Amino acid sequence: MQSKNVLVTGATNGIGLAAGQALAALGASVAIVGRSANKTRVAAAQISAASKGATVATFVADLSSQASVRALAAEVLACHPRLDVLVNNAGAMHGTRKLTKDGIELTWAVNHLAPFLLTTLLVDRLKASAPARIITTASGAHQGARIPFEDLNAERSYRGFGRYGETKLANILFTSELARRLEGSGVTANCYHPGLVATGFNRNNGLLMDLGMTALKLVARSPQTGADTLLWLATSPDVADVSGKYFLDRE
């Protein structure tokens, strides 16, 4: 991965942080996106420490805001004449319905619209850097989900985990169509399910959920194991020409 520029969203914690550390350890030039300046600085230091002091570029953006996503893309384009790998990893589940300042339901905005918009804004730079790869962290939560096209902002149909599944189904459909549109460009688009991973995920939904996630830690994977398929999709020659697929455990 020497001389490869990699941008990872949601790299302040969990799977994204583990992926950033592993990519930097492989010699990639890692840039991370976080929404808190302080957390982003701390994560950059942790990634740098994992790679004997490599410089880690940091970008601060609240991915729930489309203006912030646009500002992020402009900054990335200004700082990175090449972009070899884009990892759309940031995501969350929200037990109760909240709106972003754009008036969009929060889970949909962060998990689906943000990667959609960021990828769209960066895709020409990825094409110019080809061969390049786009990887999106999906989930297994899409199973049984259906996108409510008649109620896209979930005004009538909001259920925390159900909504999360809709956004993760959207990640997979987005990857599939993106791959089709990128055919012949030298840019691949794939997504993956990291498995059940002990991270900060679902720690924002009250004490009961927090206790539940602590109990699940007993059977959950480490963030490093959760990031394994991401790392493989970002680096391996095995998948250099594979596009439009959904992976679990490298399959």
Contact in structure between 154 and 108 (CB atoms under 8 Å): yes
Q: Is 121 exposed, middle or buried (0-12, 13-18, 19+ CB in 10 A)?
A: middle
Taking residues 97 to 126 in sequence order and writing x for each that binds ligand NAP by CB under 6 A, - otherwise, the string is -------------x----------------
- Clarify whether 192 is annotated catalytic: no
Q: In the bound complex, what is the minimum distance in angstroms from residue 150's beta carbon to ligand NAP?
A: 25
CB atoms within 10 A of CB 119: 21
Contact window for ligand NAP (CB under 6 A) among 87-95, 142-150, 183-191, 241-249: 87-95
Q: What are phi and psi of 86, to 5 degrees?
A: -115, 125
Q: In the bound complex, what is the minimum distance in angstroms from residue 109's beta carbon to ligand NAP?
A: 8
Q: How far is CA 32 from the centre of its chain?
A: 11
Helices 114-128 and 160-181, packing angle to 10 deg: 20
Among 51, 58, 137, 229, binds ligand NAP (CB under 6 A): 137
Contact in structure between 160 and 95 (CB atoms under 8 Å): yes
Nearer to ligand NAP, 14 or 244 (CB): 14
For residue 89, state whether it binds ligand NAP (rule: CB under 6 A): yes
For residue 236, state whether it binds ligand NAP (rule: CB under 6 A): no
Taking residues 183 to 212 in sequence order and writing x for each that binds ligand NAP by CB under 6 A, - otherwise, the string is ----------xx-xx-xxx-----------
Question: Which among 158, 164, 192, 246 is annotated as catalytic?
Answer: 164
Nearer to ligand NAP, 1 or 15 (CB): 15
- Give the span between the Cα atoms of 105 and 123, in whole angstroms: 25
Residue the block writes with tokens 């455990």? 249
For residue 91, state whether it binds ligand NAP (rule: CB under 6 A): yes
Alpha helices, H only, 129-181: 160-181
Q: In the bound complex, what is the minimum distance in angstroms from residue 25's beta carbon to ligand NAP?
A: 18
Q: Is 8 left (phi over 0), alpha (psi -120 to 50) or beta?
A: beta
Among 58, 62, 129, 145, binds ligand NAP (CB under 6 A): 62
- Give the span between the Cα atoms of 109 and 42, in whole angstroms: 26
3-state SS assignment for residue 49:
helix
| Tokens read off for 81 | 């004449």
User: How many chain residues bind ligand NAP (CB under 6 A)?
Assistant: 27
Nearer to ligand NAP, 112 or 129 (CB): 112
Binding residues for ligand NAP, per CB under 6 A?
Answer: 10, 12-16, 34-36, 39, 62-64, 89-92, 110, 137, 139, 193-194, 196-197, 199-201
Catalytic center residues: 164
